[in-house]
Amino acid sequence: MITRLKSCLGLLLLMLLWEIAPRVGLVRMDILPPLSRIFIAWLGLASSGELWTHGVISLFRAFSGAAIAIVVGTVLGVAMAASAPVRIFFRPLMEALYPIPKSALIPITALWLGLGNASQITLIALGCILPVAVGAYNGARGCERVLIWSGRALGAGKMRTLVDIVVPSALPELLSGIRTALALCLVLLVSSELIVSKNGLGYLIGFLGGSGIYDAMFAAVLTIAIFGLIVDRLFLRYIRWVLSWQ
């Protein structure tokens, strides 16, 4: 409770400083509007429907790409842990791709798939598969052999062993990888929409910034930041609930 109060106090002090600093001349008001003006601009975007129109498009892209990445990454990671041929084929590829900045794929996906939803969903999926796959692989590889041997001794086949023993053992690492992927998902979403999209919250930020409407631009940025924080907190609660058996 005390830690939460301290965290809230820090946030309140930051908000107060943000409101006061432009008004007393510590920073120029045109490049950092007071928080109250940003809130008014947010209400304007919300009442006009612009925020919701672009927001729904961004949510669709983000959740579609993340869902693909979670499914494919989980299957790939567990398969690599369970099968030596799969591991030998995919592990060098993953090690080569992991250090590459995923935003570097933006022009490639745009060139191949155009400027619509397909290129941005593909970008998010490609960028988020790796942390999920690595988490699933590390978790599955860390499964205690005695559990697998016990399952086999009781008559469990390969698929039953994977589903009932390996995957539950891999959950802590897997969920950690998914949490990382969800954060990366928003980064890739906004980056791609800023560069190659004609709609979405990233596009809206770029348009408002280019038009000099900075209070509304900050309102859109804070919308994404708050949404990301809410998703992360909710997923963290989900992780604690799922892993409560540990």
CATH of the domain at 225: 1.10.3720.10
Task: Give a yes or no: residue 154 inside a domain.
Answer: yes
73-111 confidence digits (pLDDT tens): 999 998 888 888 988 998 888 888 888 888 888 989 988
Residue 222 lies in a domain: yes
22 within domain boundaries = no
Which of 133, 122, 246 minimizes the C-alpha distance to 196?
Answer: 122
Confidence bin at 5 (pLDDT 50/70/90): low
Rounded to an integer, the average pLDDT of 116-142 is: 90
Q: Is the pLDDT of residue 144 over 70?
A: no
The answer to whether position 240 is within a domain reads: yes
Tokens of 8: 């809230």
pLDDT digits 0-9 by tens, 192-225 = 999 988 899 999 999 999 998 999 999 999 999 9
- 203 assigned to some structural domain: yes
* Host domain of residue 162: 52-245
Number of structural domains in the chain: 1
**Residue 149 above 60 pLDDT?**
no
Position of tokens 């960028």?
127
Is residue 132 a contact partner of residue 174, using CB atoms and an 8 Å limit?
Answer: yes
**40 falls within a domain:** no
Contact 172, 108 (CB under 8 A): no
Question: What's the pLDDT band for 226 if we cut at 50, 70, 90?
Answer: very high
pTM: 0.87
